[in-house]
């Protein structure tokens, strides 16, 4: 399963081996970023310049895609969720290691009707369809709370590397939307990206232990890129941390190298995070572990969003 | 020793009790910020606007006070120091908990002649004399290395609170200079300040254990301000993170609430940090512990810089 091949022959060929070799490596991406519309009938809410920017940089900021009143309504819903005892006790909920406050709720579209409606909103889905060149499904969704004056940092990583190795996502044809429910500023641990890094694949070292996800959502140990590869990517593209008011959305490619810092502001920072994957890129058996992660982390049903 | 009094009667009266009461409190500062020149003969390298800004905001950025070539020479000296086995083994050196890399070297003016010369440079000392209204001495000095792609964050704190409780600094008549040996930018964990916070004293809770400093330089547990006080200070003054090229200096009041984040850039971040205290504010017995911290952390000899 970890054999590379020059001619892609099917979804079970591993086009992006990682956690296999003893040394890290950095190689060019083998898939498009912005996919063409082969149907000729896809919605195209994004203009050509936006599509080109996404293709080149790997991300796009849609300032004010949602109104501040909408963001506030979703924030209220998030507060209600995080106060619910059944949500805290749900296996789909990740708690802060120190004090068991809610940090994330996975598969939030199944937990909350309001969030389900948000993640099927055409403002998001049509952009995803346009960029991925066809129908998409919800690969993952979650809400993230970064409590005021703490909240852990997330080290640099490519989501695709993990989704490929631990979930079996075969190719790079997925994107994430980070929907700000609170303002993103320099001090509250915003998303940081390395522009252009999505065009390179950093293979990591270390064999993944089974059921690794139970720890990895709290602390990262596998799928962590090496410092030399990171330095090379930052030397090419620098670092950007898109700021914006509540309701803004950052759309970024599945292989974008990204991170976020600690929230040192005295206000919580909340975001909704959703991954749209092309229905033509549905999951197969994981490329690096025997047992795939739970479906609330990586959906194995490629039911198109309608 | 922890009695407050309305009329200051001497250095052993505790004008700023902390870690005494069961609840935190926030009270106005009882000392000037920028002290007047009662001698009429002090140097005045700073103009009136700069002095007023320091007085109001609690800090001042002296962009390019040192040349980039000077900063590079000091950076080279720092690299030499951190490579020396005797420096790593020195009790004045603090190592990263994870891998024992050098994080800080205290009393660096006693360890290195070059750094001694830097910290006695008139560009720094004259500004300190002007702001503190007279002769000053070196209360503390250190070099800080924030390694690339890690390096711990420092939570919000007032240095004065610790210097008062653990070292016996009686009044607020000291300032710090943070000299950038590498560029400070948004991504490498720069100093963050709460403008105007120096005008308020946040008394913390929790009795300080003896020899607490052996752990506190690695991890903070005491002298940590409460979240409600921090929120009030940030609501008044916001947060600022002065950026600048190597050679720039941030001068900030001893009671300034400050913090710094993780270094998520792939480049190390290095600074020299020096505290000038007024010779009229020499240390007395600590206000919160029996045994004062070692003199390499807090000098007990108030020998004026000449």
Could you list the residue range(s) of the whole structural domain that residue A60 is in? Answer: 18-281
A133 dihedral zone (left: phi>0; alpha: psi -120 to 50; beta): left
Q: How many domains does chain A have?
A: 1
- CA B178 to chain CA centroid, nearest Å: 8
Residue A218 pLDDT greater than 60, yes or no: no
Of A204-208, B27-31, B100-104, the range with the highest mean pLDDT is: B27-31
What is the distance between the alpha carbons of residues B261 and B151, in angstroms, rounded to a whole number?
9
| Spatial CA neighbour of A93 closest among A296, A301, A305, A304 | A296
Within a domain: B1? no
How far apart are the two ends of chain A, measured CA to CA in Å?
Answer: 34
Within a domain: A50? yes
Q: Is B113 strand, coil or helix?
A: helix
**CATH number where A183 lies:** 2.60.120.620
Q: Using CB atoms, pick whichever of B186, B230, B265 lies closest to residue A149.
A: B230
Within a domain: A152? yes
Closest-CA residue of chain A to B225? A149
The reply to whether residue B155 touches residue A192, judged by beta carbons under 8 angstroms, is: no
Contacts with A281 (C-beta within 8 Å, 6 or more apart), sequence order: A169, A170, A171, A173, A174
Determine contact: B26 vs chain A, CB below 8 A. Answer: no
Within a domain: B304? no
| Spatial CA neighbour of A93 closest among A301, A303, A300, A294 | A294
Q: Using CB atoms, pick whichever of B187, B231, B261 lies closest to residue A264.
A: B261
| pTM metric for this prediction | 0.88
Question: Which whole number is the average pLDDT over B95-109?
Answer: 88
What is the distance between the alpha carbons of residues A13 and B148, in angstroms, rounded to a whole number?
36
Give the CA angle between residues A122, A126, A127 to the nearest 5°: 120
| Spatial CA neighbour of A305 closest among A109, A114, A112 | A109
Determine contact: B95 vs chain A, CB below 8 A. Answer: no
Residues of A whose CB is below 8 A from B259: 264
Q: Is A278 strand, coil or helix?
A: strand
pLDDT for B278: 98
What is the distance between the alpha carbons of residues B256 and B237, in angstroms, rounded to a whole number?
12
Determine contact: B265 vs chain A, CB below 8 A. Answer: yes
* Burial grade of B178 (CB within 10 A; 0-12, 13-18, 19 or more): buried
Determine contact: B187 vs chain A, CB below 8 A. Answer: yes
The reply to whether residue A149 touches residue B241, judged by beta carbons under 8 angstroms, is: no
Q: b/e per residue, A46-84, with b = 16+ CB within 10 A?
A: beeebbebbbebbbbbbeebbeeebbeebbebbeebbee
pLDDT for A287: 95
Within a domain: A33? yes
Determine contact: A16 vs chain B, CB below 8 A. Answer: no
Q: Are A66 and A123 in contact (CB under 8 A)?
A: yes
Test mutation, A184, A185, A187, chain B, max B CBs within 10 A: A187
Query: How many CB pairs below 8 Å do chains A and B form together?
Result: 62
Determine contact: B202 vs chain A, CB below 8 A. Answer: no
- Could you tell me which residue, A1 or A82, shows the higher pLDDT? A82
In eight-state DSSP terms, residue B244 is B
Q: Are strands B249-253 and B59-62 parallel, antiparallel or unpaired?
A: antiparallel
| Spatial CA neighbour of A152 closest among A212, A99, A197, A77 | A99
| Spatial CA neighbour of A31 closest among A232, A203, A198, A156 | A198
ipTM: 0.83
Q: Side-chain half-sphere of A177: how many Cα atoms within 13 Å? A: 29
The reply to whether residue A156 touches residue B149, judged by beta carbons under 8 angstroms, is: yes
Q: Using CB atoms, pick whichever of B192, B234, B262 lies closest to residue A153.
A: B262
What is the distance between the alpha carbons of residues B149 and A118, in angstroms, rounded to a whole number?
35
Q: What is the pLDDT of residues B64-92, one digit of tens each?
A: 999 999 999 999 999 999 999 999 999 99
Residues of A whose CB is below 8 A from B149: 155-156, 227, 230
What is the distance between the alpha carbons of residues B146 and B183, in angstroms, rounded to a whole number?
12
| Spatial CA neighbour of A266 closest among B160, B156, B45, B255 | B156
Residues of B whose CB is below 8 A from A235: 266
What is the distance between the alpha carbons of residues A3 and A21, in angstroms, rounded to a whole number?
11
Within the 225-244 window of chain A, which residues sit less than 8 Å (CB to CB) from chain B? 227, 230-231, 234-235, 239, 241
Q: What is the pLDDT of residues A57-84, one digit of tens each?
A: 999 999 999 999 999 999 999 999 999 9
Residue B4 pLDDT greater than 60, yes or no: no
pLDDT for A272: 97
Give the rounded percent of residues in chain B with a pLDDT score beyond 90.
Answer: 80
């Amino acid at each position: 399963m970890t054999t590379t091949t020059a001619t892609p022959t099917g979804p079970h060929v591993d086009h992006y081996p990682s956690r296999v070799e003893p040394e890290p490596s950095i190689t060019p991406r083998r898939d498009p970023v912005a996919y063409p519309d082969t149907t000729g009938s896809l919605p195209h809410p994004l203009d050509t310049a936006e599509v080109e920017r996404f293709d080149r940089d790997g991300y796009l900021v849609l300032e004010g895609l949602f109104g501040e009143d909408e963001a506030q309504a979703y924030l209220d819903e998030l507060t209600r969720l995080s106060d619910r005892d059944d949500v805290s006790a749900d296996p789909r909920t990740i708690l802060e290691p120190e004090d068991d406050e809610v940090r994330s709720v996975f598969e939030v579209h199944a937990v909350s009707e309001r969030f389900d409606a948000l993640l099927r909103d055409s403002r998001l889905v049509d952009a995803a369809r346009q960029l991925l060149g066809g129908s998409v499904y919800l690969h993952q969704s979650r809400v993230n709370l970064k409590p005021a004056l703490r909240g852990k940092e997330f080290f640099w990583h490519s989501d695709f590397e993990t989704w490929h190795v631990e979930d079996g996502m075969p190719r790079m044809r997925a994107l994430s939307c980070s929907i700000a429910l609170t303002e993103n500023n320099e001090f509250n641990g915003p998303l940081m990206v390395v522009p252009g890094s999505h065009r390179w694949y950093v293979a990591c070292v270390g064999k993944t232990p089974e059921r690794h996800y139970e720890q990895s959502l709290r602390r990262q140990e596998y799928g962590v890129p090496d410092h030399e590869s990171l330095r090379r990517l930052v030397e090419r593209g620098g670092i950007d941390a898109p700021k914006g008011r509540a309701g803004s959305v950052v759309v970024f490619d599945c292989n974008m190298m990204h991170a976020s810092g600690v929230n040192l502001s005295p206000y919580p920072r909340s975001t909704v995070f959703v991954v749209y994957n092309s229905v033509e890129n549905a999951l197969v058996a994981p490329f690096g572990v025997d047992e795939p992660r739970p479906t609330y982390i990586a959906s194995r049903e490629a039911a198109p969003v309608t």
